[in-house]
Amino acid sequence: MNENPTPIRVLFVCLGNICRSPMAEGIFRKLVEEQGVENHFDIDSAGTGDWHLGESIDPRARQILSEYDADYEHTARQVTTRDCECYDYLLVMDAANERALRALCPVSLHDKIYRVMEPIDNSEVPDPYYGAGMQGFEQVYRMLNQSLQRWLERWLEDTNT
C-alpha cells in the first residue's frame, strides 16, 4: 500500500451526533488502527440536527465503545454543506438522515451519500437513544462493526488495485 496516500475522507451521519454516528466513528477508528492504515483515512461524524451541539457522546454509547476498546474523545457537531464537498463518503444511518443530506448537499454530490449498512443489506441502523436500553446500543455496535469491516475491506482493495 502507498505510504503517503491521499486519505479517504469518511463522514458518519446520524440525527444528533451523540449515539450512532460517533459509535460508527469509534468503531472505524479502531478497525483502521488494527489494520495499521490510520494514515489512509480521515474520519469524522456529524448530525443532521442541532439538538446536541457541543455535547459529548451519549454515556450508553460510550460504555459500549469502551467495552470494545473503541472509545475516543467526541464533541457533537452538525453536518454542513462544506462536509458534502470535503468528504468522499457520507455514510448515513437511516432514510431520514439520507433525505436530510440530499436536501443539504448539491445534487452533483449526491453520489457520495450511502447508507452505512449498504455492504450488508442497505438496512437502517435503529436509533437506540429512546428506550432501547443497553441491548439496543449493543445491537447498533454489532451492526456497525459488521458493515464497517466490509467498507474497510472494500476501500483497502480499491487502494491496492
Q: Which residues are catalytic?
A: 14, 20, 127
Ramachandran region of residue 59, left (φ > 0), alpha (ψ -120 to 50) or beta?
Answer: alpha
The DSSP letter of residue 78 is B
Give φ, ψ of 3 to 5 degrees. Answer: -70, -35
The 8-class DSSP code of residue 19 comes to S
Residue 13 grid cell: 451521519
Amino acid found at 154: R
9 grid coordinates: 475522507
